[in-house]
Chain A
């Protein structure tokens, strides 16, 4: 059997969706200026999940196997819960900022507008901010803005050194 022929036959079955083409056609506004394309909402969820994972040193959350907090075996299946209630990806939009904190083992996600007053409800937990940039690269960054409290093991190690 000829590999090239079979390869071409196989990958000929894969096509870009009409929805994708439609998005690509519309990369400019009425003035002809390039505009940001609609970011994949699922990716927003993945970014949130990544942030949650970054904050999860003290929380048992694993994107691959998690059964609490952030769920799913793949990012496309990730679910995000706020105070125990699942929220939809459509609740988020490009440019939104989020704060994710760990609170008694739960991942709590705040939309920027809904953030509690400083010091309110944040009891020294891990705080992660997620910025979803609306630039030409659709890049997203996850950064830990406050240091996580040391784990018991780290404290033990530090005490041993001193």
Chain B
């Protein structure tokens, strides 16, 4: 990968990877570490990407794997980091619209494996089959996780009356 291609990839995918990383972990700093690791792996990657979409799905897969490793690390389990309005504000994440804040915290309350699926489905616009390929799970697993995530979100966002 040339310097130009790498720079372009960082510019284009930093936000996407950061949002995915934030789905996996508890705070901004850890998400940033995950993003750095992903780009380090991209830099060291010696294979070829068929097209832009191939690279994008590769980056997502690496980010999810990095996130899984983060979640399984022993020291991460020892330390708690509540994500409330105050701590988010300190990390530069602020929502001026109450509905957005409510939705963000409702999603944050989901188990990480649900958050990742929800994000890839609703934000990155991937189909269930594509998500299953990226995560290395069966389509039915993704469907189940999406269904359960929606149920949990409905119970938390009942007043907003969302259409899923």
Using a CB–CB cutoff of 8 Å, the interface residues on chain A facing chain B are 1-4, 6-11, 13-17, 20-21, 23-25, 27-28, 34, 37, 39-40, 42-43, 46-47, 49-50, 53, 63-64, 73-76, 78, 136-138, 140, 142
Residue of B nearest to A48 (CB): B75
Contact of B163 with A by CB under 8 A:
yes
Residue interface bits B140-164, CB-to-A below 8 A is 1, else 0: 0000000000000100000011111
Contacts of A47 in B (CB 8 A): 75
The CA-CA distance from A6 to B22 in the complex, in Å, is 18
Chain B residues whose CB sits within 8 angstroms of the CB of A21 once the complex forms: 10-11, 14
Known contacts A27-B40, A50-B75; is-contact A16 B32 (Cβ 8 Å) = yes
| Given A7-B122, A14-B18, A46-B79: 16 more A-B contacts, CB < 8 Å | A2-B162, A4-B122, A7-B107, A11-B119, A16-B35, A20-B35, A21-B10, A24-B36, A27-B40, A37-B36, A37-B40, A43-B30, A63-B80, A74-B27, A76-B81, A140-B75
Are A3 and B153 neighbours in the complex by a CB distance under 8 Å? Answer: yes
When each residue 6-23 of chain B gets 1 if its CB lies under 8 Å from chain A and 0 otherwise, what string results?
010011001101110010
Residue in B closest to A37 when the chains form the complex, CB atoms: B36
Q: Out of B18, B29, B82, B92, which one reaches A43, CB within 8 Å?
A: B29
The answer to whether A75 touches B92 (Cβ under 8 A) is no
Q: Once the chains bind, are A76 and B29 in contact (CB under 8 Å)?
A: yes
Answer yes or no: B54 CB below 8 A from chain A CBs: no
Q: Size range of the interface on B?
A: 35 or more
**Could you say which residues of chain A place their CB within 8 Å of the CB of B93?**
13-14
A10-B162 Cα distance, complex, nearest whole Å: 14
Residue among B19, B27, B36 with the highest chain A CB neighbour number at 10 A: B36
The majority secondary structure among interface residues of chain B is helix
User: Once the chains bind, are B44 and A8 in contact (CB under 8 Å)?
Assistant: no
Contacts of A23 in B (CB 8 A): 32, 36
**What are 8 sample pairs from A and B whose C-beta atoms fall under 8 A apart?**
A1-B99, A13-B94, A16-B15, A16-B35, A24-B35, A27-B39, A50-B74, A140-B75
Given the complex, which residues of B lie within 8 Å of A142, measured CB to CB? 74-75
Contact of A73 among B44, B82, B104 (CB under 8 A): B82
- Known contacts A40-B32, A50-B75, A74-B79; A138/B19 CB under 8 A: no
Q: How far is the CB of B47 from chain A (nearest CB, A)?
A: 15
Please name all residues of chain A whose beta carbon is closer than 8 Å to the beta carbon of B27 when the two chains form the complex: 74-76
Chain B 37-57 interface residues, beta-carbon cutoff 8 Å to A: 37, 39-41, 43-44
Do the beta carbons of B95 and A13 come within 8 Å of each other? yes
What is the minimal beta-carbon distance from A3 to any residue of chain B, in angstroms? 4
Q: Tell whether, in the assembled complex, residue A25 and residue B19 are in contact, meaning their CB atoms are under 8 Å apart.
A: no
Question: How far, in whole Å, are A37 and B42 apart by their CA atoms in the complex?
Answer: 13
Q: State how many angstroms separate the Cβ of B128 from the closest Cβ of chain A.
A: 14
Give the contacting residue for B75; candidates A2, A7, A16, A46; CB below 8 A. A46
